[in-house]
Amino acid sequence: MSQIALPYFAKGEVVKGFGRGSRELGCPTANYPEDVVKKLPNEIECGVYFGVASVDKGEVHDMVLSIGYNPFYNGTVRTMETHVLHTFENDFYGKELRVVLLGFIRPQIKFNSLEEFKQKLREDIAYASNELQKPEYVKYKNDSFFTD
């Protein structure tokens, strides 16, 4: 199972994604460059994860993160995209994003409609928010990884 590689720590610069308007779906996703994605261990399967994240050593927030080939868009490149559960005043392209993957939510699914995708996203976020209240996960917000 994918869980054996967790928690998984990653950091890297936020780069431009495919500009296909995930923001319009109400879900901006901060993309990592390929070198960060390539470091992922093999045991980490494609799918949606929950965890915690910070931007430029700022406050640590809850997040959901997708690893995969983006089947909805018939993607060919593996990606690692983080949706931080926080409202930011500005974009943070070029800044350093630190993430800790803590749990697996579900494998990649091919969605048949935008509505289906949005509904699943709401479920993912609800599940993540609930899980991330557990002390075993909350403790990672104070991990030295975020201050080093």
Binding-site member from 2, 8, 12, 30 for ligand ADP (CB under 6 A): 30
Among residues 24, 81, 116, 131, the one annotated as catalytic is 81
Applying CB under 5 A, the site for Mg ion has a residue count of: 4
Does 31 help bind Mg ion (rule: CB under 5 A)? yes
Do residues 102 and 10 lie in contact, with contact meaning Cβ atoms separated by under 8 Å? no
**29, 66, 70, 82: residue in contact with Mg ion (rule CB under 5 A):** 29
Nearest distance in Å: CB 49, ligand ADP: 14
Q: Which residues are within 8 A (CB) of 101 and not within 5 positions of it... i.e. 6 or more apart? A: 6, 7, 8, 10, 44, 49, 50, 51, 65
Which of 2, 31, 66, 70 binds ligand ADP (CB under 6 A)? It is: 31
Site for ligand ADP in 126-145 (CB under 6 A): none
Q: Are 49 and 105 in contact, with CB atoms under 8 Å apart?
A: yes
Residues in contact with 37: Cβ distance below 8 Å, sequence separation at least 6, in sequence order: 67, 78, 79, 80
81 is catalytic: yes
Q: How far apart are the first and last CA of the chain?
A: 30
Return the half-sphere exposure (C-beta side, CA atoms, 13 A cut-off) of residue 36: 21
Q: Residue 94: which of ligand ADP, Mg ion, none does it interact with, CB under 5 to 8 A by kind?
A: none
Residue 83 binds ligand ADP (CB under 6 A): yes
Q: What is the SS3 assignment for 140?
A: helix
Binding site for ligand ADP (CB under 6 A): 14, 16-19, 21-23, 28-31, 82-84, 86, 88, 91-93
Catalytic residues: 81
Interacting residues with Mg ion (CB under 5 A): 17, 22, 29, 31
